[in-house]
Amino acid sequence: MALPQAKLDATEARLAGLTLPEGGKWASDARTQALARVRAMGLPSRRDEYWKYTRPDTLTAPETPEAAVFETDESPVFDGIDSVKLYFVDGVFDADASDDPALAGVEIERLSVVSGTDIHWAKDIFGVLEAKGQDPVARPLAALNTAFATDGLVIRATGKAERPVALIYRHADTASDAILHHCIRVESGASLTVLETGPVAARFNGVTEVDIADKGTFNHVRAQGRDHELRTATHMFARLGEESAFKSFTLTMNGVLTRNECVIELTSDNAIAHVAGAAVGDGDFHHDDTVFITHDSLHCESRQVFKKVLRNGATGVFQGKILVKEGAQKTDGYQISQALLLDDDSQFLAKPELEIYADDVACSHGSTTGAIDETALFYLRSRGVPRADAEDLLVLSFLAEAIAEIDSEAIADDLLTRLQAWLARRR
Amino acid sequence: MLKISNLHVKLEEEDKQILKGVDLEIGAGEVHAIMGPNGSGKSTLSYVLSGRDGYEVTEGSAALEGADILDMEPEERAAAGLFLAFQYPVEIPGVGNMTFLRTAVNAQRKARGEAEMSSTEFLKEIRAQAKELKIDADMLKRPVNVGFSGGEKKRNEILQMAMLKPKMCVLDETDSGLDVDAMKLVSDGVNALRAADRSFLVITHYQRLLDHIKPDFVHIMSDGKIIKTGGPELALEVENHGYADLLTEGA
């Protein structure tokens, strides 16, 4: 089907400012194919059904909308977590600031180096999972990323990683436009935790492809940056082997536009995939979680838990789908999306979807939008807790179910502290 | 301790008068019971005293140790020494029982200009109080009232009372949903808190709770008013003859 002229024009306008990076044959091929996908799909526009609730204009525009750099004297998120810390500034790896990436059981390389090689294991992942994730719904920004990303990390865990790998993103230039692409391979029986924090850049397009072999475990916890004017679009693509586990949690506390997509394919038996998120937004905050989980195997479990607290006209979006293919029997799928609206100006737009072609499955989904529970508020106040503190407690109570999805207690506590500070600042 | 004078209350949302001139004076250290048929206004009285939204005081006053409480926020009333044990204690997922109680204890202390309780001090006391009420360590750690049985919720209310040390305790149908053993445990907890400087207002439908928590005075409430006041024998009269006789008498 031919694309509308406006879409073609907008796509070409964006592509005009970008050049395909040089690289080895496998990387160049992947990039050329990704560029062809972008041209075939066209970049997203507000007329696209998948972008009905989130305007993509500023994510696709040739010019980067400026974003002021947020100054804070608070300690960085995950600072207290024993991890290998790797820094990026405006989307460029900063080797001098980073720890030595030598961590037992984990190989870490830069995409910019790896993509110049003639042969590398990453060729089976780079752009491959992203391309697979384009069906049945187009994700053109992810293809754009594959085509033009020069930096990012290529990480391979062959055993149980001793410490988490923390990717810390700094934003320095008010007009930076970053494209980062990470490829992660968790080998059979291996386990790895990746932490991500920071604003990255004024505008950020991020893709992470995760390939988990049989019995592998991958944990991901992300705390997105606090810079108010940030525009962020991220995609996470995961392919899960037999009895493998994928768990991802994201905390978002600011940003005029954030769209986090997570695309998971359960193609081997007995795998589990959990995706969760907590978002707290104030004012012109727009936050979109878009999740697509495909069950294409036996006895797999998937879980989506998303909570948003919105005030002063903030907008929250959730598009979550569980697709159970024919023959994916004994699927256990769960999905919940909830919003707590602290005033009448804020809104939550939810599109929960189940599409099931197998007959022996247990799938459930729910979505709610509500205000602070007056009875609970009175209960707390009747015990002497002042109204503002009582409201904070109830906000944390609301978010607790999502935070509980994080396996590590230390990491969950760290994020809870951030949330408490966020609440305190907004009194 | 508590002086309620000519209290008239209507529902905020509709033009419905619930309390139609309640007079009640509770001296320090006294235990008063209010009994009455359903819809007589007993629970409304407890909510109005503790400051729940949805009620409008149209006439009269309520004073705690001489201070008018009706204009205070719920948290101010709590800090002034008022405590309401809920008929249906509220579940608060994600907030640990102990965290909640410590927040409450210290918020009240702060409001009164007292020093906050250190965590060691707090832990020591809550463990001792919990033991008395047969509340185990797990219940203290769990989210507030989540997954608690009816009896556990009521014991948790009494634990809060023990930790907050109010001057005036209002118990709203604390016996509802309790079996005999649980009622005994809750009553023992309340009795242990009886003191010369602490008063109780026990709202109940049935006399049996008053076998355990012995009142000094019993009031019968009907149609938004106290229609009869007496000693513990009045409760027995209700037990034996129901409210019908008393209501005709009062009318």
- Which pLDDT band, with edges at 50, 70 and 90, does A1 fall under? low
State the DSSP H helix or E strand holding residue A362, giving kind and residue range, or none if neither: strand A362-370
Q: Do residue A380 and residue B53 have CB atoms under 8 angstroms apart? A: no
Q: Do B52 and A378 touch (CB under 8 A)?
A: yes
Residue with tokens 């989904």: A365
For testing contact with chain B, the best of A368, A374, A375, A381 (most B CBs within 10 A): A381
The region that residue B170 occupies, defined by phi over 0 for left and psi between -120 and 50 for alpha, beta otherwise, is beta
**What's the rounded mean pLDDT across residues A394-410?**
95
CA Rg value for chain A: 21
Give the residue-averaged pLDDT of A86-110. Answer: 91
Q: What per-residue confidence (pLDDT) applies to A424?
A: 86
Closest CA–CA distance from residue A295 to any residue of chain B (Å) = 31
**Which one of A382, A387, A401, A420 makes the best mutation probe of the B interface by having the most chain B beta carbons within 10 Å?**
A382
**How many angstroms separate the CA atoms of B242 and B251, rounded?**
16
* CA distances from residue A228 to A43, A171, A415 in whole angstroms, order as listed: 25, 12, 18
Q: Which amino acid is at A351?
A: K
Q: Which of A340, A380, A419, A420 should we substitute to test contact with B (largest number of B Cβ atoms within 10 Å)?
A: A380
Specify whether the CB–CB gap between B21 and B60 falls below 8 A: yes
What residues of A are in contact with residue B84 (Cβ under 8 Å)? 382
Which of B75, B77, B90 has its CB closest to that of A376? B90
Nearest to A382 among B78, B92, B105 (CB): B78
Mean of the per-residue pLDDT values of chain A: 95
Angle at A55 between CA A53 and CA A57, to 5 degrees: 165
For residue B18, the model assigns a pLDDT of 95
Does a cis peptide bond (omega within 30 degrees of 0) precede residue B143? no
A375 contacts: CB under 8 Å, gap ≥ 6: B90
* Mean pLDDT in residue range A267-290: 97
Sequence-separated (6 or more) residues with CB below 8 Å from residue A339: A307, A308, A309, A310, A316, A348, A350, A368, A369, A370
How far from A298 is each of A268, A291, A362, A424, B251, CA to CA, in Å? 7, 21, 12, 46, 73
A2 vs A37, more confident: A37
Q: What are B219's strand-pairing partners?
A: B34, B229
Residues in chain A within 8 Å Cβ distance of B101: 383
Give tens-digit pLDDT for A116-133.
Answer: 999 999 999 999 999 999
Q: Is the pLDDT reported for residue B208 higher than 90?
A: no
| Residue A339 pLDDT greater than 90, yes or no | yes
Q: How far is it, in rounded angstroms, from Cα A17 to Cα A208? A: 23
Helices (H), chain B: 42-50, 74-80, 97-111, 119-132, 137-141, 150-164, 180-193, 208-212, 232-241, 244-250
CB contacts, 8 Å: B95 with chain A? 393, 396-397, 400
Helix (H) or strand (E) holding B63: strand B55-64
Taking only the tens place, the pLDDT of each residue in B167-205 is 999 999 998 888 888 899 899 999 999 999 999 999 998
Helices and strands counted in chain B (H then E)? 10, 12
Contact A378 B75 (CB under 8 A): no
For residue A75, what pLDDT band results from cuts at 50, 70 and 90?
A: confident
Q: How is residue A105 annotated by DSSP?
A: T
B13 touches chain A (CB under 8 A): no
Distance CA A219, CA A278 (A): 16
For A218-238, the pLDDT digits (tens) are: 999 999 988 889 999 999 999
pLDDT over 60 (residue A80): yes
- Location of structure tokens 């355990």: B212
A chain contacts of residue B89, beta-carbon cutoff 8 Å: 379
Chain A contact residues (CB < 8 Å to B): 373-376, 378-387, 389-390, 393-394, 396-401, 403-404
Residue A427: pLDDT above 80? Answer: no
Edge-to-edge strands of the sheet including A153-157?
A: A106-110, A153-157, A177-186, A203-212, A231-240, A257-266, A286-295, A315-324, A347-356
Domain range holding B185?
2-250
Q: What gap in Å lies between CA B163 and CA B117, rounded to an integer?
A: 11
- On the question of pLDDT at A165 being above 80, the answer is yes
Q: What is the pLDDT of residues B6-15, one digit of tens each?
A: 999 999 988 8
pLDDT band at B249 (very low <50, low <70, confident <90, very high): low
Q: Rounded to 5 degrees, what are φ and ψ at B146?
A: -75, 125
Nearest to A389 among B74, B86, B103 (CB): B103
Which residues, listed in sequence order, are joined to residue B193 by a DSSP beta bridge? none
Rounded mean pLDDT of A329-337?
Answer: 97
Asked if residue A15 has pLDDT above 70, the reply is: yes
Nearest Cα to Cα of residue A415 among A275, A252, A228: A252
pLDDT score for B76: 97
Nearest to B107 among A374, A386, A396 (CB): A386
Interface contacts A/B by beta carbons within 8 Å: 81
pLDDT at A117: 95
Q: What end-to-end distance do the CA atoms of chain B give, in Å? A: 30
pLDDT 10s digits, A177-187: 999 999 999 99
The alpha-carbon gap from A277 to the nearest alpha carbon of chain B, in Å, equals: 16
Domain count, chain B: 1
How far is A204 from A180, CA to CA, in rounded Å? 8
Of B73, B94, B95, nearest to A381 by CB-CB distance is: B73
The interface predicted TM-score (ipTM) is 0.95
CB contact under 8 A, B111 and A384: yes
pLDDT interval class at B247 (50, 70, 90): confident
Taking CB atoms and an 8 Å cutoff, what residues of chain A touch B107?
384-386, 389
- Nearest-CB residue to B90 (from A379, A385, A389): A379
Q: What is the pLDDT of residue A76?
A: 87
Contact across the interface for A397 and B92, Cβ inside 8 Å: yes
- Interface test with chain A among B69, B84, B103, by most A beta carbons within 10 Å: B103
Long-range contacts of B121-130 (CB under 8 A, 24+ apart): B125/B163, B126/B98, B126/B101, B126/B159, B126/B163, B129/B159, B129/B162, B129/B163, B130/B159
User: Phi, psi at residue B74, to the nearest 5°?
Assistant: -55, -40
Q: Whole-angstrom Cα distance, residue A66 to residue A178?
A: 13
* List of residues 6+ apart from A334 with CB closer than 8 A: A302, A303, A304, A363, A364, A365
The CATH number of the domain holding residue B53 is 3.40.50.300
Of A375, A396, A398, the CB nearest to B90: A375
Q: Is A197 helix (H, G, I), strand (E, B) or coil?
A: strand
**pLDDT confidence tier of residue B251, bands split at 50, 70 and 90:** very low
CB proximity under 8 Å: B 57-116 to A: 73-75, 77-79, 83-84, 86, 89-90, 92-95, 100-101, 103-105, 107-108, 111
Yes or no, beta carbons of B93 and A378 under 8 Å apart: no
Beta bridge partners of B68: B63
Averaged pLDDT for residues A308-317: 97
Picking from B51, B93, B160, the nearest residue to A397 by CB comes out as B93
